[in-house]
Chain A
Amino acid sequence: MTATGGEAALFWVLAPLMVLASLGLLVARKAVHAAICVMFVMVCLAILYVAQEAPFLGVVQVVVYTGAVMMLFLFVLMLVGIDAADSLTETIRGQRWIGVLLGVGLAVVLLGVISRAAFPPAVGLAEANAVTNPVALARLMFSEYVLAMEVVGVLLVTAALAGLVLTHRRRLSSRPTQRALAAAKVAALPEGKTITPLPAPGVYAQNNAMDTPALGPDGRPLEHSVPRVLRIRGQQRSATAVLAAEETLVGRELAEAGLLTAEADPPGTSSGTSTGLDSDGPDSDGPAPDGPATDEEGR
């Protein structure tokens, strides 16, 4: 039996692509690229199943293989580390050439068998699929192969249990209680640790950012109120610079107020240099750090 022209075209388009993608699995350096190649092969196989009068298997192929199995592979790749590249050192000498030889040999032997075998004239599934493919498959599965179906069910349950058991980690020490955690915190006090959460970064009249330290009750900046990452990167701003900027702003506002009063009463005696015309959001309370320890968010 020969396939129709459309199917032949589909085959000759998809088959080389599938072989290329499989080669990609063989040579891809990164595991993610290999996984994507395999996914492509599986989707192409689903298309070929539908073309081969097996629409149910085509759908199952997409759902089970590309939807579940390959997603599981990707999850495990993420767990194991996406950049887990292969090592190139050979532990067995000449393993690569032996492997290539065996692979090519297998292909040659199997292709030889196929080319030499005398296949009976193909029947096609038009008759078997008369009551639609899924119905015909279900009749077969739940009559002739019902025992196999049940065994497969047991297998699936066993596999789920095995997945649970294998990935389960036993806790070696007992879980610490809240009381023990509190005691440990208090015990760490002499080493300079604090019991309370760290203070929040400073909130100033003109500045409310993570990189400016808060001021302590004594007016000195609290360095540890800036997140550790910013401190290590050296991206924190000094509190004195912020304070100086606010001081000039307050001075400018005072000068403007003085100018207004001066304009109101005696026109000649304008005190101060009114350079700032853009008073964007004037907060009258200048350097008022109401930042420290109001926020309960520990970092």
Chain B
Amino acid sequence: MEITNYLGLAVILFALGAATVLLRRNAIIVFMGVELMLNATNLAFVTFARMHGDLTGQVLAFFVMVVAAAEVVVGLAIIIMIFRARRSASVDDVNLLQS
């Protein structure tokens, strides 16, 4: 098995995450799609680190994880705030700036 198979898996996961972001309406599920994309990039980072024999890829993956954790906190807080105001977690209902 070639190591590049891991990259193929990462690409498929990334595309599925992107499709989730595009297709789903529930803000929480959309957010999970973003998380899946971040995880796919992490897999690519780890694979490249192994490919090049350089640990920098793993360091980058670690930073991605930390930033993702921070991003989840803020994003979910925003979702809760919107839910409190609109009683809905659907991204279609958020049109406060429209009118």
Contacts and interface: CB of A to CB of B under 8 A. Distances in A.
B22 to A, nearest CB: 4
A102 B80 contact: no
Contacts, number: 240
A205 interface: no
A49 B46 contact: yes
Given A26-B19, A41-B36, A124 B50 contact: yes
Interface string A138-168: 0011000100100010011011101100110
A23 B20 CA distance: 9
A152 B51 CA distance: 27
Interface of B: 1-9, 11-20, 22-26, 28-29, 31-33, 35-36, 39, 42-43, 46-47, 49-56, 58-59, 61-63, 65-74, 76-81, 83-84, 89-90, 92
Interface of A is mostly: helix
A279 interface: no
A110 B66 CA distance: 26
Interface of A: 1-3, 7-8, 11-12, 15, 18-19, 22-23, 25-26, 28, 31, 34-35, 38, 41-42, 45, 48-49, 52-54, 56-57, 60-61, 64-65, 68-69, 72-73, 76-77, 79-81, 84-87, 91, 95-96, 98-100, 102-104, 106-107, 110-111, 114, 119-120, 122-125, 127-129, 133, 136-137, 140-141, 145, 148, 152, 155-156, 158-160, 162-163, 166-167, 169
A111 B3 contact: no
Given A38-B36, A128-B55, A156-B70, 20 more contacts: A35-B32, A48-B43, A48-B46, A52-B47, A54-B61, A56-B62, A57-B46, A61-B65, A72-B72, A100-B19, A106-B15, A122-B52, A141-B59, A141-B62, A155-B70, A160-B73, A162-B74, A163-B74, A166-B80, A167-B81
